[in-house]
Structure formats: C-alpha cells, structure tokens
C-alpha cells in the first residue's frame, strides 16, 4: 500500500467510526482509592516520591518493560476508556477516542528519545546525560482525559520520573482509571505501584498544592489559558501545553476536492476536541464556492445562513459583561445536537456546521472545540496569511494549509510560527495519525518544547572524568 492509499484508509476509518453512535462494551469500571489513587494530595506526592527513588536505581530495560506493558494495557482497555470518557464528560466520539488510544499505544516513544552526548580527548572524557527531574506534577484536560495521562506517564517514566496527576474534575473517573492501569502494568512486570499517582477528587486547590509542594521539581500543564497562567506564575520550571485556535488556509492552487475532505475529517475528529483540529477556514475567494460545494455535497456539512448564525452565537457562547465564553453544554457535541439547539433538525449523519463570516466574528475568533467552522474569504494568499496569523491569536500552537505552491506553504509556515504545521492533510497527521512521526497529547506551544516526549521531561547533567578514560 502506498502512502496516499494509507492516508485514504485512515480518512475512511475516521469517517466510519465518527458516524458510529455508541459501541457497547463491558460495564465501565469506577476508579476508587488504590493503585495510585489517593484521598489527598500530600499522600499522592509522598507515594510518588518513594516510588521515584526506587525507579531511579532500576535499569533502563526495566522502564521499557513497564512501558511495553502500559501500551498493552491501553490496547486491552481502549473501548472501556473511550466509553468512560464520553459518558463522564458528555464530549467527543467513542469510535474516535478508540483510535486516539490506539495511536498512544502505537506511537508514544519511550527511552529511545533519551540521548547521551560525549567528548573525549587529551583531557579525558565528558558526557552530558539526560536525567530525571524527580517527581513531576501534571495537570490534564477533560478533552483527552486518559490519552494525556498515558502519554505523560510513558514519557515521564521513560525519563526516570514518577508523576502526580491533578486531572480535570469533570473527567477524574477516566483519568484515575488510566492512572490505575499504569500502576497495574508496572506491578504485572515485577515492578511497584505509584509510578503515577493522583487524587480521587481533584480540585483547583489540590492543583495549587501540587504547584507549591517542595517535592515537585517540574510542572507540566495541558489545558486552557487558566492553567497555563497558573503554571507560569508558580515559580517552578513549567512546561505549558496551552490552547490553540488553528486556522486552515486554502489557496487557489490546492486540490480543492481533497482539501474539503481533509478539513472536514480533521475538524470532526472526536467532534473537534483536539487542540490541533481545524477551528476556522480561510479561503482564497477564487476557490471559495468550490470548497463549500465539496464540503456540503460530499462531506456531510450543513451551511448556516443569515439569522441562523446569530442564533448559534446565542446558543454556543455565553456572554458576561461583554465578554464571551464557550457554553460547555455544546463543547465536543455532535453537529446534529448543536443544530437542534438552534431549532434545526437534521439527520445524525451531518458531521459539521459551516457558516461564512468576517475575520472579526466572535465564532471565528473563539476556540469553540465543536464541529462548527467559520469560513473567511480573502482576496489572495497574502491576505489569507495575515488573517490566519490574526486568528491563531499568537498561541503559536497549530496551523494548517492546503496548497500546491511550495513558496506559499513556506511563507505561511514562517509567518504562523506554530509548533505544528500540517500541509495537504487532516490536522491529525500532525500528531502522527496518517502522518510520520511520534505522537503526544501534550503539545507545549506556550513554552516552546513543542511535541513532548521522554526527552522533554529530563534535565541535562554533565559528568566529567579528567585525564582518564581517553583511549584513542
């Protein structure tokens, strides 16, 4: 199978699983106290500290053994985890969440990311090795509640750390179950518990304890602007994977039929919950009608007109003192549910809602995280790049483009300056799904580490032997 055929298969699977209503699985477990889940944050940190001291003296091979078993556990539990997340949060699509877990299991790297550099010469041997920080404090989102726990845990354990999670309160059951699976995996290969720990009922207060605790050496936050601000003000080293509002630009040289299919596949994946997903379309006027035609006639999109757009604003946003926030009742919901909210009945097969708007429109400017895409027409690619830059909002997170002109692609990539830039593919290719490279669900956009892996969670340590061990 060539690369193009493989991409088509991925797109077809995404489309099919997205329209699957509910996959029946065995009853979802309820995560209680035990196997790394504690009543309070002090206990969770203490246990992770003890476990880190044990892990640090074990061989690297042992870390790899644990990681292999964690990945098997993810595959064994992917349906249950996907179902738990959708039931607990009310967001996303079970079929797509199963694919996300498969991706984590197959493409999250381990100890192979950790490299040593060496210098040898007349004055001896110097190496720079990457060592663990110790105990990491990690904050996880409701949008990928178990995927983030697994990705973080694999990378952090590979680096020799243990990790204490403070999960989103609305997804704590799913995140805590993932924590328990990590520990179960470790014990099953002859290891010990508490490589990952968490609290049964996480709160902002328990998160603050994590931020301030002297035994936490590194903080990693995956979430929106609130937690990113909190982590950057904590006084500790912080890795911040924040919000995005990824634009997708389509120029007149693009394969428009393919661009339409790719954009809708990317934007409807898990109902637009991924931070990397296309959140608004910018299209050169010359090809705008053609793009809309393919999206509505071949990709199950519903185009809103006139007053319907205003109704959508009133429904999916909440206004307080002239400031808009997203109505959580509609985040990650099916397009048909959102349309029902504004009095439009459509079949469940409708995947995405479209509307045309100006670049200032609130639904285009806000990160909605639902299958709703505003379309902004521009006169040419240069105007398109300016508009995309504005709408990306300086997050420097993700931006995508469809074009066959390498100079336009290059100009866009340089101007947007984002951690992820996907060309001529759905956005999920940027995390290794239908694209090359490893995966992660923590994309450190704000602090610049980009797609995190085990190496991100290490610190650099220089080890010098003077006048010996030089054998050249």
Q: Are 456 and 130 in contact (CB under 8 A)?
A: no
Total residues binding ligand NAD (CB under 6 A)? 27
Q: Does residue 388 touch ligand NAD according to CB under 6 A?
A: no
According to the binding rule CB under 6 A, does residue 381 interact with ligand NAD? no
445 versus 456: smaller Cβ distance to ligand NAD: 445
CB contact burial 3-30 (16+ within 10 A = b; e otherwise): eeeebeebbebbbebbbeeeeebeebee
CB distance 227 to 221 below 8 Å: yes
Under the binding rule (CB under 6 A), the answer on residue 223 touching ligand NAD is yes
For ligand NAD, give the closer residue by CB, 227 or 292: 227
Identify the three-state secondary structure at position 84.
helix
User: Residues 115-144 vs ligand NAD: string with x where CB under 6 A?
Assistant: ------------------------xxxxxx
Identify the DSSP state of 468: -
Nearer to ligand NAD, 151 or 195 (CB): 151
Query: Which residue lies nearest ligand NAD, judged by its C-beta?
Result: 223
The reply on whether position 226 binds ligand NAD by CB under 6 A is yes
Q: Is 35 in the site for ligand NAD (CB under 6 A)?
A: no
Q: Which of 168, 213, 359, 402 binds ligand NAD (CB under 6 A)?
A: 168
User: What are 216's two structure tokens?
Assistant: 């936490």
CB of 227 to ligand NAD, least distance (A): 3
- Note whether 421 and 400 are within 8 A (CB): yes
Q: Choose between 118 and 204: whose C-beta lies nearer to ligand NAD.
A: 204
CB atoms within 10 A of CB 115: 10
> Can residue 230 be called a binding residue for ligand NAD (CB under 6 A)?
yes
Q: Which of 139, 354 has the CB closer to ligand NAD?
A: 139
Instruction: List, in order, residues 6 or more apart from 457 with CB less than 8 Å away.
Output: 132, 133, 136, 155, 156, 158, 159, 161, 218, 220
Helix (H) or strand (E) holding 414: helix 406-416
Q: Segment contacting ligand NAD (CB under 6 A): 6-14, 36-44, 218-226, 283-291? A: 218-226
Confirm or reject binding of residue 194 to ligand NAD (CB under 6 A): no
Q: Left if phi > 0, otherwise alpha if psi is -120 to 50, otherwise beta: which for 36?
A: left
Q: Tell me, what DSSP letter sits at residue 299? A: S
For the bound state, the minimum distance from the C-beta of residue 167 to ligand NAD, rounded and expressed in Å, comes to 6
Does 207 bind ligand NAD (CB under 6 A)? Our answer is: yes
CB-wise, 166 or 403, nearer to ligand NAD?
166
**Minimum distance of ligand NAD from residue 241's CB (angstroms):** 3
Tell how strand 443-444 and strand 247-250 pair up.
unpaired
Separation of alpha carbons 72 and 70, rounded Å:
5
Kindly indicate which of the ranges 29-37, 129-137, 222-230, 251-259 contains the residues binding ligand NAD, using the contact rule CB under 6 A: 222-230
Among 29, 124, 131, 224, binds ligand NAD (CB under 6 A): 224
CA 140/CA 146 separation, integer angstroms: 9
Look at residues 458, 126, 89 and name the one whose alpha carbon lies nearest to residue 270.
Answer: 89
* 427 counts as binding ligand NAD under rule CB under 6 A: no
* CA pair distance 145, 374, nearest whole angstrom: 27
Binding site for ligand NAD (CB under 6 A): 139-144, 167-169, 204, 207, 222-224, 226-227, 230, 241-244, 275, 367, 441-443, 445
């Amino acid at each position: 199978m060539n690369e193009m055929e493989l991409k088509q298969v991925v797109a077809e699977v995404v489309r099919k699983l997205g329209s699957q209503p509910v996959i029946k699985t065995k009853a979802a477990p309820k995560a209680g106290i035990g196997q790394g889940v504690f009543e309070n944050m002090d206990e969770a940190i203490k246990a992770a500290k003890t476990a880190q001291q044990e892990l640090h003296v074990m061989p690297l091979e042992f870390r790899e053994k644990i990681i292999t078993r964690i990945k098997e556990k993810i595959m064994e539990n992917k349906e249950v985890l996907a179902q738990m997340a959708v039931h607990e949060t009310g967001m996303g699509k079970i079929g797509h969440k199963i694919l996300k877990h498969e991706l984590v299991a197959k493409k999250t790297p381990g100890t192979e990311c950790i490299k040593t550099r060496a210098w040898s010469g007349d004055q001896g041997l110097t190496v720079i090795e990457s060592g663990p920080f110790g105990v990491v404090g990690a904050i996880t989102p409701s949008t990928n509640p178990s995927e983030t726990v697994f990705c973080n845990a694999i990378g952090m354990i590979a680096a020799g750390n243990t990790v204490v999670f403070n999960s989103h309160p609305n997804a704590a059951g799913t995140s805590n179950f993932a924590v328990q699976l990590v520990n179960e995996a470790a014990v099953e290969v002859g290891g010990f518990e508490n490589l990952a720990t968490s609290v049964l009922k996480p709160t902002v207060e328990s998160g603050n304890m994590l931020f301030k605790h002297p035994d936490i050496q590194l903080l990693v936050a995956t979430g929106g602007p609130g937690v990113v601000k909190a982590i950057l003000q904590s006084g500790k080293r912080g890795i911040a994977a924040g919000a995005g509002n990824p634009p997708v630009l389509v120029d007149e040289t693009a394969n428009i039929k393919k661009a339409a299919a790719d954009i809708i596949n990317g934007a409807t994946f898990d109902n637009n919950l991924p931070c990397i997903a296309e959140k608004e379309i910018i299209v050169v006027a010359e090809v705008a009608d053609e793009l809309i035609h393919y999206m509505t006639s071949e990709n199950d999109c519903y185009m809103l007109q006139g007053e319907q757009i205003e109704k959508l604003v009133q429904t999916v946003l909440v206004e307080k003192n002239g400031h808009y926030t997203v109505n959580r009742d509609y985040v990650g919901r099916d397009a048909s549910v959102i349309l029902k909210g504004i009095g439009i009945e459509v079949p469940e097969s409708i995947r995405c809602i479209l509307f045309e708007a100006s670049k200032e429109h609130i639904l285009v400017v806000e990160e909605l995280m639902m299958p709703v895409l505003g379309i902004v027409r521009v006169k040419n690619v240069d105007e398109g790049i300016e508009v995309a830059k504005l709408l990306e909002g300086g997050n420097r997170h993700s931006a995508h483009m469809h074009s066959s002109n390498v100079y336009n692609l290059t100009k866009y990539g340089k101007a947007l300056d984002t951690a992820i830039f996907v060309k001529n593919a759905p956005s999920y290719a940027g995390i290794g799904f239908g694209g090359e490279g490893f995966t992660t669900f923590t994309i450190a956009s704000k602090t610049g580490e980009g797609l995190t892996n085990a190496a991100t969670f290490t610190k650099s340590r220089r080890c010098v032997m003077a006048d010996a061990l030089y054998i050249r």
